[in-house]
Each structure stands twice: as C-alpha cells, then as structure tokens.
Amino acid sequence: MADLKALVSRLMTLEDRIIACMRCGNCQAVCPMFGATHMEADVARGKLALVDDLAHELIRDPQAVADKLGRCLLCGSCQAGCPSGVKIMDVFMEAREIVYSYLGLGPVKKAIFRVMLAKPWLFNISMRVGSPASHLLFRKNKTAQNTVSSPLLRPLIGDRHLRSLPVRPLHAIVGALNEPRVSGGLKVVFFPGCMGDKYYVNMALACLKVLKHHQVAVFMSPDFACCGIPAVSSGDGQGMVDELRKNLDILSKVDFDYIVTPCGSCTSTIKELWPKYAARIDDAAMHISKALSKKTMDITQFLVDVLGVHGVEPRDNAISITYHDSCHLRKGLGVSSQPRELLKANSGYRFVEMKEADRCCGCGGSFTLYHYDLSRAIGQRKRDNVVASKAQVVAAACPACMMQLEDVLSHNKDDVTVKHPVEVYAETL
Amino acid sequence: MANSALIKEFEEMLGKENVFSSEADRRTYAYDAAVLNPVVPAFVIRPTTTEQLGKCVVKLYNEGIPMTVRGAGTNLSGGTIPDTSDTVVILTCALNRILEINTNDLYAVVEPGVVTADLAAAVAAKGLFYPPDPGSMSVSSIGGNIAENAGGLRGLKYGVTKDYVMGVEFFDSTGGWVRSGSRTVKCVTGYNLAGMLIQSEGTLGVISQAVMKLVPPPSASRACLAEFDDMQKAAEAVAGIIAEHILPCTLEFLDNNTIVKVDDFTHIGLPRNAAAILLIEVDGHPAQVADDAAAVERVLKACGATAVHVAKDAAEKTQLWEARRQALPVLARVKPTTVLEDATVPRSQIPAMMQAITDISKKYRVDVGTFGHAGDGNLHPTFLCDKRDKEEYARVEAAIDEMFDVAIKLHGTLSGEHGIGTAKAKWMEKETSRGTILFSRRLRKALDPKGLLNPTKLVGILGGE
C-alpha cells in the first residue's frame, strides 16, 4: 500500500472544489440514493464532507470513504441542481481514482477494465462462447419484456431479469464499415458502445437502418474499445486511458463529420471525459480528443437537429409511449427534446409525459453490479411512474437505462415494453 | 467513545439499519448549513414510529445523554450541529408521513420529517395552499420549520411557519408525551405549549406530530420588476405600496452588487447601474389582482422607479423571477465560503441598514451582496469570503458583529428567520436583556433538568443564573 501522506496530498488537490459546497443540503431533494436510504453519507453533501475529512486526516479510514463513494449512481442530479455550482461529478470520479490508487483496485475490476474492455477481441470471444450456452443457463420469465433470469447464476447476477443474449454481436453481423460519402452527403462514425454491440444488437441495427435511410455514410470498427466510463466510475483512470488510446488510434485515421452513439453515457464520456483523460497520454491525443468531442452527438440529437427529423400527428389508434430521460443525456448534455421529437415522428405512437421523467432509473452502470438491491429499490420508483403514465411502451436513449427498465418492469409483471427512440423511429422506415 | 452496549440496545429497539455508529456515518451528521466547526456525535438513531421516538427520548434521558434532533440539516445557525462528542443525533427523516389532509376543516396532520415541499404539493393536489416557503423547502422538514419558525418569501402577506401551527405533539426531555393545540381554529385548553415549541430550536422538546393550518389558494397573481437608481426611493416605494393598503405576496429586492454579479453570471440583461431592483407579486381574486397590480405600478412610478416591467404571462413572470432565483446561487459561486445572514429591520429602516452594510463592507474590506425580503425588512447580507484565509475571515466576523449592532440600533433583530443556534447566541443579550436570558435559562432548566436537549443552543442551559 502506498503511504497515507501521498493519498492525503492528492486529495488536497480537490479541496478548492470541495470547499465550494456551502452544505445547504439541496442535493437531498434530487439524489436517487438519498431518496432510497435517507442517509446523509449517501448524498453529495455527505460524500464531499467525507472526502474533505479524509484529505484533512480527520478520518483515517480510506476504505470506509471508498465504500461511501461507491454508493453513488454518478447520475449528476446533484450537480445539475447545485446552487454553488460544485463540480461534484469531477470530484467524485477523481476521488474514487485517488482512493483506489491507494487501496488498490480489486483483481476482478482490474481484469474487467484493463483486460476485457480494453481488448475487444477478448471480450468478443467470451461473448461468442457464452451466448450459445445461454439457453442452458437462463429461464424465460414469460413477461412483456421477453426477459430471462438465471437461478444457476444467481450468485453472480442476482435475481436479474435480462433480455437474453443475442446470438451474434453487431460487429459480427455487419462487419467493419467504411462507406463512401454519397456526394455532398454526411459521414458519421457510429460508436455502438459495448451494450449496443453485444446486447441490444437490434437497437444498434435500427440505428444503422436509419442512417442508411437518410443516406448517411457510416464508419464502424469491430475494434472499438469501451468508451471508458465503467473504468472511470470504478476509480480506474488507467483503464480509461488504455481504452481511450485504442479508440483514438482508430478514430484519428478516419474522415467524418460526426461521431454518433445510441448511448447517453458513451456520448457524454466521449464529449466530456475523453479530452480530460487524453491529457494523460500526450498533447497530440488531447488535441484529437478535443476535436472529436466537438463532433460527438447523441444519435437522437443528430437525427433531429442535423437531419431534421420531426414529429407528426399521431394516428387515431396510436399506442401510448412515454420517455425516460437518461441522466448523462439530460443532466449531462442537455439533450431532452430531441428523443421526444423522435418518438413523435412515428404516428403509431402517442407521446405521454411521465412524472419525474428525469429522475435516475437506478442503474448507474457498474453501480448495479455492486448494489443490486439499492438499484432495484430506486428503479421501483421509476417503474411506478412509468406505470402511472399508462403508457404501453417506455423509451430510453441509453442501453443501461433500457436494461434497468426491463428488469424492474419484468419483476413487476407489467405489460410495458422498452424501446430505444431510434427503434421507434426506425419502425416507420 | 460511545458505549457499544447502548448502541446494541438501540439496534434492538430500532433495527440495525436505523442506528449509525461507524466513523464515516457519524462524521456526516457533524455539520449543518451554518459556517461553523463540525462536532462528531457519539452515534445517530433514526426512529421510524412515534412510539419508537418516545422510547428513544426516555432511554437517552435515563442514560443522561445529550440529544440533538435533526431533520434535513439545513439549519443556518448551527441548531443541528451536535453539542458534544457524547451527543446522540435523533433523525426525523423516517417519520415522514402526512397523516391527514382535511379539506373541510382546512388543516393537515403531519409527522415532523415530512418535507415542506412535499406537504405543499400534497396540499395543492387537494386544491388548498400551505404558504410558508423557506428557501430550503425542497428538502427542509416541518419539524425543523416549526423548531426554527422558518420564514420565506411570502412572509409579508401570509406570515411565517408560526402562523400555520394549530397544534403540536412532542416528547419532553424525560420522554413524557405532551399535546397542545388541536384541529380547531380556536383552542384555549391549557398553556399554549404548541406556541412555546415554535422557534425553540430543539431545546424544549422533541416534536412528534403537528397540525398545520391550510388556506384556500389565490386564483390569480401578477408580477412586476422595478428598477431604482437610489435605495431610498426603492424603500419609499415599498412603504408607498403598503400605505396603499396593498399586501403583495412577495416583495423582494436585490442590491447593486447582487444585480451586477447575477448579470455577470447569467447575462440576462439586468440594469447594472441600478441601485436596487424590486420584484413584486400580488395575488388573490383576479379583479383584486388587476386593481392591486395597477396601483403598485402607479406607486412605483410615483416613487421614481426608472423602469417598471410587468409580466404579461406565466413565461414572462418566470423570466422576471430569474434574477431573484439566481441571487444566492450566483453569490455562492463568487468565493468558497458563503455566510448568509438575515439581519432584519423595520421596513422604513431598510435604506439606513443598506447604507450601513455598504459602509461596513468598505471599512472591513469584505465583499457583501445583499438581497432579501424588502416587504418585511428581512435582509440577506451575504458575505463572500474564504474561511481558510484566517485574516479575511476575522474581518468578516468583525463586520458581522458591527452589522448586528446597527440592526439592533435600528430597532431590528439579529435573525429574521435563520435562528440563534450557537452562531448568534453571543449577541442575544444585546438585542433582548439580561433578564430575558435568565428567564429563558430558568425555563429550560425547569423543563430539562438534566440539560440534555440541544444544551448549548440559544441561551445555553449550562450558563449561570
């Protein structure tokens, strides 16, 4: 273990940002964790106080502080509403990295972030081996969401209701893409994200179908690494840098107008975190990342703002659909009207707003891996709001949210299906 | 160090999930929103029923352990900071049920941990109105609102929390169950103990339930914003509006420093040269609102407003309010430490008080932005500093001392709505009298013989006769 002094001095670099917290406690109103537990250590004010205490050696138990820091969805609700404008997400992500560099990252996390997610071929092979065997492990739940669960794997994945793994990942179906521009047309990099490539493959295919319909040329590589957000949230800055290096290597050689992703978390990571972490590689990487950042867009935003897709009047027999705002999209990037507009572009659906549409669903990416019980408790409130809206379909523009929504709806045996807004729009083409 | 046997007993009583004794958890209940040093409690308990709450108080009384009751911890005078490292913090956040909203008799019965905004929303959903709107209402809870007599923007017309308390149930320091007030408009059964609990800052009892008055909501409202090149003229306008027998539901003001800082940050095009802006909203029956709004506009112009903007619709109203909504957030971003004060003076003394604040800020070289509730003379001089800079912070403290002196000289008060806690205890005698302090202490000692309820807050039970 590194020495405590080094930990303290690294944490002190956060002090100027932490002290901006005036401890008003307003974060309690919006924090999904606090909503579930009502514990001060679960809300931003409490966590900032603990990081500050650790930096000032008022508490000398980094593990205890790390455990508290881990009980956060990184949804950014607190930051979006913080009266003092504290950069809470930056502080939390950096604090996690500093504390874990002292405590050491567990072997499992290291294996996932530094080996699996940074080496796509290994990830891909393991998925390919796993998928055909999945019918042996999983049991159909007979719910509207077509989910499966696995009593055998319960120790590993808990009582999760998941969509069954696709037979083949996206890149195995479509291969590498590097289409020429239609004359005068646009060219985009389609970054499907891990979940788009390996889990919600039909959703990703719908994205490609839509891009093709609008005559947008697509570049996509089977060698894309993870965007890096799971590593960063787990305090593994080095894992993020490894993945970023791989992605920059691919993207710096392509000519394109935009990077689009169907995942709010990937979008916000590329836009906001890549330039920060690229600075750890070298100046050139940072400049490339900054340029990429400007060209990166959520696919719903691209379709509406760039291609001009717009709403139409719903048919008489339209079915009702509601929309869940993913945290990284709405609170992080301010994208909220575009996915709704996309839903309205399909006359087969009538859009209804749900209560607390922008309240976190409780997935939080890797949060759900470590805190499934809390994740479910937070998800239940989202589920209640979905059901109260009487919508037959709920859309979310982030695969992690989709997975969480399917899990909670399936557990409640609700007759509500989950779709990505692009899937809804693709149905019209 | 806390007695581990005692912690175990509480765990058996409340469940392990409702007793927090780890160092990390305890440290998060060591502070509130006041700029004061934290005090880490022995442990923290979270009763989930009234019965449990009573048992907790009895137990702590028998053990002779000091207790600090905490709602959302938004207190601005240190009322929820533990007194000593032996203190046990009692959380009310799990006592958060709205037990009844009676639309015939116009009251709500609530547990102390009900969040103010949740009550207001539940009441509004039933077509009624709970007016008190303290700045922290999205998180603050009713128990704390009563214990601090929380105010808000609507004070001038609708009053403050105390005007809505019909009854209170509480546990005294020994755990004895006390009921006062009722669900009726009139009730003279015994001492007005409910009234005594209001603004008692956790020193006289532990509130377990309250009956809150509700009113019919206004059916219309209108807002306007007026600019002034002179604070005196703005104050005359405030007086002029009241003299016309109009009671706006909100009558807020921002000083020049605040205006400039808000405009720097938001670029919403505020009058950067204005000495003050007033934000006025009238509400009530539509016809009355139309008459009042016209009268307000007339008064503003007669008093020399350099410009008056009247909101034509809801969107414009939201826009006008933006400057006021942004006041505290913007000031809070200027420097690391934000000391939000609430010196209050009679309305007519606002110009004198503002002049004094300007002079004091120059004399002590401290940055102060002032906004507040002009209608009730409740100012929020906000001191922007960095408490790590000891020399600067000493100047801030000296400036605040002098500001309170002025407020008292102008027949005002130390605190309009934030409370005394430990932050302002040292000035209390100056505003009141030695006799007031002694009377308060004797009252406390009679009711809390072991000195366990928030012992160092307000007048301090441990102080001499």
| B39-74 b/e (C-beta count within 10 Å ≥ 16 → b) | bbbbbbbbbbebebbbbbbebbbeeebbbbbbbbbb
Q: What is the pLDDT of residue A156?
A: 63
Q: How far is CA B177 from the centre of its chain?
A: 27
CATH of B98-213, one of 3.60.70.12, 3.30.56.10, 1.20.1280.50, 3.30.465.10: 3.30.465.10
Q: For residues A174 and A208, give the distance between their C-alpha atoms in angstroms, rounded to a whole number.
A: 10
| Token reading at B278 | 């007033």
Instruction: Give residue-wise pLDDT tens across range B298-312.
Output: 999 999 999 999 998
On the question of pLDDT at B141 being above 50, the answer is: yes
ipTM: 0.93
SS3 state at B214: coil
Nearest CB to B136 within list A25, A46, A61: A25
Instruction: Give residue-wise pLDDT tens across range B366-397.
Output: 999 999 999 889 999 999 999 999 999 999 99
CATH of B4-91, one of 3.30.43.10, 3.30.428.10, 3.10.20.30, 3.60.21.10: 3.30.43.10
Which residues does chain A have within 8 Å of residue B115's beta carbon, measured at their own beta carbons? 29
Q: Determine whether the interchain pair A50/B46 forms a contact, defined as Cβ–Cβ distance below 8 Å.
A: no
Which residues does chain A have within 8 Å of residue B25's beta carbon, measured at their own beta carbons? 39-41
Average pLDDT, chain B: 94
Which is nearest to B293 in space by CA: B274, B277, B314, B309? B309
Which residues does chain B have within 8 Å of residue A22's beta carbon, measured at their own beta carbons? 33, 35, 332, 337-338, 340
Nearest CB to A65 within list B24, B35, B115: B24
Q: Which chain A residue has its CA at the smallest distance from B94's CA?
A: A38
Q: Which of residues 381-410 of B touch A (CB under 8 A)?
A: 386, 388
Q: For residues B91 and B18, give the distance between their C-alpha atoms in angstroms, rounded to a whole number.
A: 9
Instruction: Give residue-wise pLDDT tens across range B428-448.
Output: 999 999 999 999 999 999 999
| A394 touches A321 (CB < 8 A) | yes
Q: What is the pLDDT of residue A31?
A: 96
Q: Determine whether the interchain pair B333/A49 forms a contact, defined as Cβ–Cβ distance below 8 Å.
A: no
Nearest CB to A25 within list B20, B33, B338: B33
Give me the total of CB pairs closer than 8 Å, taking one residue from chain A and one from chain B. Answer: 83
Nearest CB to B74 within list A24, A38, A67: A24
| Token reading at B19 | 């007793």
Instruction: Give residue-wise pLDDT tens across range B219-231.
Output: 999 999 999 999 8
Average pLDDT over residues B48-64: 97
Nearest CB to A61 within list B23, B28, B38: B23
Average pLDDT over residues B143-150: 97
Alpha helices per DSSP H over A145-236? 154-157, 170-174, 193-198, 201-213, 229-233
Q: Determine whether the interchain pair B25/A67 forms a contact, defined as Cβ–Cβ distance below 8 Å.
A: no
Q: Determine whether the interchain pair A25/B117 forms a contact, defined as Cβ–Cβ distance below 8 Å.
A: no
Which residues does chain A have within 8 Å of residue B117's beta carbon, measured at their own beta carbons? 29
Side chain identity at residue A14, one-letter code: L
Taking the Cβ of residue A59 and every Cβ of chain B, the question of whether any pair is shorter than 8 Å is answered with yes
Taking the Cβ of residue B36 and every Cβ of chain A, the question of whether any pair is shorter than 8 Å is answered with no
Q: For residues A158 and A288, give the distance between their C-alpha atoms in angstroms, rounded to a whole number.
A: 41
Which residues does chain A have within 8 Å of residue B333's beta carbon, measured at their own beta carbons? 20, 84-85
Q: Domain B220-409: give its CATH architecture.
A: 3-Layer(aba) Sandwich (3.40)
Alpha helices per DSSP H over B267-312? 286-302
Q: Determine whether the interchain pair B93/A59 forms a contact, defined as Cβ–Cβ distance below 8 Å.
A: no
Instruction: Name residue B342's beta-bridge partners.
Output: none
Q: Determine whether the interchain pair A28/B139 forms a contact, defined as Cβ–Cβ distance below 8 Å.
A: yes
DSSP class of residue A272? I
Q: What is the pLDDT of residue A33?
A: 96
Taking the Cβ of residue A141 and every Cβ of chain B, the question of whether any pair is shorter than 8 Å is answered with no
Q: What is the pLDDT of residue A122?
A: 67
Q: For residues A204 and B23, give the distance between their C-alpha atoms in angstroms, rounded to a whole number.
A: 47
Residues of chain A falling short of pLDDT 50: 1
Q: Determine whether the interchain pair B27/A59 forms a contact, defined as Cβ–Cβ distance below 8 Å.
A: yes
By percentage, how much of chain A surpasses pLDDT 70? 91
Nearest CB to B29 within list A19, A40, A61: A40
| A78 touches A44 (CB < 8 A) | yes
Taking the Cβ of residue B80 and every Cβ of chain A, the question of whether any pair is shorter than 8 Å is answered with no
Nearest 10 degrees: Cα torsion B259, B262, B263, B269: -80
- B1: confidence class by pLDDT, cuts 50, 70, 90: very low
Which one of B48, B77, B115, B139 would you mutate to disrupt binding with A, by most A Cβ within 10 Å of its Cβ?
Answer: B139
Which residues does chain B have within 8 Å of residue A71's beta carbon, measured at their own beta carbons? none
Q: For residues B85 and B102, give the distance between their C-alpha atoms in angstroms, rounded to a whole number.
A: 43
Neighbours of A373 (CB within 10 A): 11
Q: Determine whether the interchain pair B33/A40 forms a contact, defined as Cβ–Cβ distance below 8 Å.
A: no
| A288 touches A278 (CB < 8 A) | yes
Domains of chain A (ranges plus CATH)? Answer: 4-103 (1.10.1060.10), 139-304 (3.40.50), 309-426 (3.40.50)
Q: Determine whether the interchain pair B25/A26 forms a contact, defined as Cβ–Cβ distance below 8 Å.
A: no
Q: Determine whether the interchain pair A58/B72 forms a contact, defined as Cβ–Cβ distance below 8 Å.
A: no
Q: Which residues contact A290 (CB under 8 A, 6 or more apart)?
A: A275, A278
